[in-house]
Structure 1
Amino acid sequence: MTDIALEDFTVAQLRALGSLVPGVSIFFDRLLARTYEDFISVLYRDIDSVLSGFQESPELLKLDGEDRLTSEIKRGLKLIGYAATHDEKIGGHSDLVVRGKKEGFLWIGEAKIHSGYDYLYQGFQQLTTRYTTGDVNQDCGGMLIYIKTNDAASVISAWRAHLASKGLEEYAEFDCIDRPRFVFYSVHKHERSGASFKVKHIGVILGFDPKDRRPAKKAKISKIAKAKSAPA
């Protein structure tokens, strides 16, 4: 049997293995991203992958704060080759900064644990008026909304309405095809650059309030109460 070396394959042939080997296809998308649009598209797929892991283990994250959660996203992105930082000084302490391999490619994310819509809007203003430049190849950002209560879909719906009510200049919004109830995009005129700025609002479902243990706990309390009230 003839040995086949990696260099014997074309990039197209290797990419075709994506359906057989997890991670191969997006690896090449990441490697070959030439435009800012390509960079952003692949970055969002990678962020979604990290956040999917978060959502599968909410019981382990219920005590984690914004910095801890965002640091884990940064860590996950760095492991697959991104130049990602947390709390980098860009107009202030930016929560999540990701730079592309091509000079000038920049994406900034603002992270908030949902506790109210004014608080989320404060984060949106930090992202759009403090941290981001709105320049070419820097005109996209993200809101990472960690939702530790139940009914995440209602939180995102209410946040979407709250943002729309602010009367931002040249404001528009549209759905995310993949997760329309939990993610949406907004576009408005960036104050500093005067150009359009696009924000992806990502709801992260971290609510954890299991009901399965409660009946057993009540039964245990009831037994203790009965024992205490029984005559000696």
Structure 2
Amino acid sequence: MSIENMSIQELESMESCIPEVGGFPSRVMAATRGYDTWISKLYSDIDHIIKRCIFPTASYRQNDPEDRYNVDIANTLSTMGYQAHHDKWKNGHPDIVVESHRGYQWIGESKIHSDYNYLLEGFRQLTTRYSSGFIAQNHGAILIITKNRSIKDLMSNWENKLISSEYSDVAVQKCTIDDDCFISTHTHQVSGSEYTVRHIPISILFNPTDKSARKNKA
């Protein structure tokens, strides 16, 4: 069978052999398989953007504001076929909103890390203002942009800060997708149901010590 006559599902099974399709078939099929599958695919694509697009350009991003990252992520998701928006009104201006015609919704709130209280403000914005916590709208993320030398220390400290905050019922678990991330769940104040947040570090550390890098800095 030629590629022109393949169904989306058939193309999905051959994605690894056909890079030209750019993951489109699996994105289409993920949406048909339910909200949780759609979320998993979305996170796979967000991780790809962070690791393949943002970190490799860290040297150019040392003075960028938060919105540079939000625009880059939202626009790249849009080119992948998602209904992704930056600064779309949701009882305020959440940094990134991704939606689907099926009613699915995910919200990401990004913060350039300065201190852990600032991260906690982002968590409050996400969970008490922007999100509803309703069915198929009960996942979001905190995107932590950082120049810290140790991502593991940063995330451990942030996890402890979140656990000791006013969110008394928050539960934390490891992220099965990426060890550098973690997952938190708590009861959403609007829906009264469980709301899940993935906490994602975005490293822009750039402090090379090789000879050519030192010469370029001079």
Moved more, 192-201 or 19-28: 19-28
Change (3 A) 1:6 1:76: same
What is the identity, as a one-letter code, of the residue corresponding to 1:113? I
Any idea what the Cα deviations from partners look like across 1:58-104, whole Å, max 9, x if unmatched?
101111110111100011001111111111110111110000131x2
The answer as to whether partners of 2:182 and 2:200 remain within 8 angstroms in 1 is: yes
Any idea what the Cα deviations from partners look like across 1:152-211, whole Å, max 9, x if unmatched?
22111110111111252432111112321x201000001111110000000111111112
Q: Secondary structure at the match of 1:47?
A: helix
Which of 178, 181, 184 is residue 183 of structure 1 equivalent to? Answer: 181
CA distance in 1, matches of 2:159, 2:133: 22
CA distance in 1, matches of 2:213, 2:10: 56
Q: Which residue of 2 aligns with 1:163?
A: 162
Q: CA deviation at 1:15?
A: 2.3
The answer as to whether partners of 1:108 and 1:140 remain within 8 angstroms in 2 is: yes
CA distance in 2, matches of 1:185, 1:11: 32
Point out the structure with max Rg over C-alpha.
1
Change (3 A) 1:89 1:11: closer
Unaligned runs of 5+ in 2: none
Q: Which residue of 1 aligns with 2:172?
A: 173
The answer as to whether partners of 2:9 and 2:25 remain within 8 angstroms in 1 is: no
Change (3 A) 1:213 1:4: closer
Over the residues paired in the alignment, what is the CA RMSD in angstroms? 2.1
Q: Secondary structure at the match of 1:89?
A: coil
Q: How does 1:34-45 map to 2 (within 5 A)?
A: 34=32, 35-45=34-44
Unaligned runs of 5+ in 1: 221-232
What is the identity, as a one-letter code, of the residue corresponding to 2:110? A
Q: Secondary structure at the match of 1:122?
A: helix
Q: Which residue of 1 aligns with 2:19?
A: 22
Change (3 A) 1:133 1:23: farther
1:94 matched to 2:94? The reply is yes
CA distance in 1, matches of 2:60, 2:191: 41
Change (3 A) 1:208 1:106: same
Q: Secondary structure at the match of 1:63?
A: coil
Change (3 A) 1:144 1:23: farther
1:148 matched to 2:147? The reply is yes
Which of 182, 191, 201 is residue 203 of structure 1 equivalent to? Answer: 201
Q: Which residue of 1 aligns with 2:122?
A: 123
Structure-1-length-normalised TM-score: 0.85
Q: How many pairs were matched up?
A: 213
Structure-2-length-normalised TM-score: 0.90
Change (3 A) 1:191 1:20: same
CA distance in 1, matches of 2:54, 2:3: 37
Change (3 A) 1:27 1:216: closer
Q: Secondary structure at the match of 1:90?
A: coil
What is the identity, as a one-letter code, of the residue corresponding to 2:177? D
Q: Give me the identity figure in percent.
A: 36
What is the identity, as a one-letter code, of the residue corresponding to 1:84? A
